[in-house]
Structure formats: C-alpha cells, structure tokens
Amino acid sequence: MQCIINRRAQFSASHRYWLPELSEAENFERFGPTARAPGHGHNYVLYVSMIGELDEYGMVLNLSDVKHVIKREVTNHLDFSYLNEAWPEFQQTLPTTENIAREIWRRLAPHLPVSKIQLFEHPELWAEYLGNEMEAYLTVSTHFSAAHRLARPDLSLEENSEIYGKCARPHGHGHNYHLDVTVKGEIDERTGMIADLGALQKAIDDYVVEPFDHTFLNKDIAYFENVVPTAENIAVRICQLLRSPVRDLGAQLHKIKLTESPNNSCEIYCADLEELVSESQQQSGVLVGV
C-alpha cells in the first residue's frame, strides 16, 4: 500500500531580483522594490511530500532520516544565507519562490522519493513543484469582504428557504472571503518566474478584489443578478474573469480556491471549466475562443 508523507522544515534567507545585464532603471522597471540592494528577506516554510510503500513497521520512511537529509542537502545551505550566492544555479536563474522549490527538488530527489515540494515565501505567496522539468505552480492569496443572498429569482421565499435555509433571508449576510489564485507555467530560465508577480497581483486586484470588495454581490455585480452567488458560483466567475489576464502574462490559470468561512471552501480547476465550456459550445454548434 502506497502512502504520501510530509515533512516540514524552515529557513530564513534574503534574496534580490537583479539581472546584471540590465541597467538599474531596467531592473527597477522589471522587478520593482525587490531590486533594491542589498535585498530583502523571508522566513521560508518548506513542505517535502514523499511517496512510498508502508513497511512492516508502519512507515514509509524513518522521519529522523528524512529530517537529516533535508538539513544536509537544503537547510544547512540556505538558512541565514543570501540566496543569490547560496547555490551556483541562482546566479543563472534568480531565486524566486518557484525556482527555489525546483532546486530543492533537484537536491532531494536523489536521496528521497519526493512527490511534491511546496515552499511558502510568506502566508500569501507560495510555490509548488512536482518534478516536471521547468513547470511549476505559484499561488497568490488575498481576500475581499462581500454580502450575498442565496436565492433563485424565479422561486418564492418559501421555496428558496427550503433549498438554502437561513442563507435565503431577504437582506442577505456577509463573509470575509479568502481567495487563493494558482497559476501554472514554465519557469523562465533567467528571471526564475512563471509570470510577473506584480502584474499577477494587479490583475487579481483589478478584476476581482476591487470590483467585489464591500459589495452586495446579488445587486452590485451584474453577473449575479440571475446566478446564485454560492461560493462555487463565485469561484467559477473568478475563474472566468482571470483566465484571459493570466494568459496574457504568459501563464495558465490553474485553480481557484475560495474560502467562505473556516468551515466552508470550494476549489475550481479552471481547465475543467474550459472543457465544460468547449463541450457546451460544440453541442450548440458555436465555436468561440475560451
């Protein structure tokens, strides 16, 4: 029987986004404040996922051995370091979160049955690497506050209350929504980036956070006049709104996770949505770009 186990580690390090072949003005235009000398730092949190068969002792691996491997191969090198100089590879490809995750995989894979590397730069930004050459995932976390009412306009209050319970009350209710936007793409061999992080954050703010924040979704967002703003439908709409802007940045929108409350969240894989739209268009005889 196979099982996935996870080991957590952490390290503190600094880095700078700076390409010597660019001028100072070009570096600041491209990387913004992250180009400042001598750099900036983070408390990185690392999760190493490993897969294997359960042995006679009920273990995939001895976690004490795993701990020592991670320390020997990774954290001893990176903790309290200037990442640009910690490993030679970071002089060729900048130590972005996604590229650090890739390099950690490369160092651990000869010693451990790694299935995923997840690296948090801070709680609102993290990367995942699954061992697929230069492909990686980057997640930006943000939030907005909004009210909604769960009710179909074609049903009575009694009928809506039967379906949605208290959420159908006429004056609605509100949530502090937490939004995780995950993009997928190829790590650039020089910048180390899947996509321009500042531009990605701006797209999320411009297309989702600013329009949705402090609204009554049913009344202030035209899309939800006839679409019930459940967490699932909100996530679908966010996927629709961000798909093209993320594509314009050279990446692919992979997943939207929307947390409505500590008890309720949903995830939409945007490729599934594209397939659904494509099937619907083919059935109706309409061919348009997704």
167 assigned to active site? yes
Query: In this structure, what DSSP letter does residue 187 have?
Result: P
| Alpha-carbon gap, residue 193 to 201, rounded angstroms | 14
Helices (H), 109-262: 157-164, 197-204, 210-212, 217-220, 231-248
Q: SS3 sequence, 37-83?
A: CCCEEEEEEEEEEEEEECCCCCCCCCHHHHHHHHHHHHHHHHCCEEH
Dihedral angle of Cα 48, 49, 51, 55, to the nearest 10 degrees: 70
| Alpha-carbon gap, residue 189 to 170, rounded angstroms | 54
270 assigned to active site? no
3-state helix, strand, coil in the chain (%, to 5): 40, 30, 30
Distances (CA, A) of 132 to 34, 50, 262: 27, 16, 33
Torsion-angle region of residue 205: left (phi > 0), alpha (psi -120 to 50) or beta? alpha
Catalytic entry in 98, 175, 260, 270? 260
162 assigned to active site? no
Work out whether the CA dihedral 146, 196, 131, 44 comes out positive or negative: negative
Q: Helix (H, G, I), strand (E, B), or coil: what is residue 147? A: strand
Catalytic entry in 40, 68, 173, 214? 214
Closest CA to 119 of 14, 13, 44, 40: 44
Catalytic entry in 42, 89, 135, 167? 167
Which residues are annotated as catalytic?
167, 214, 260
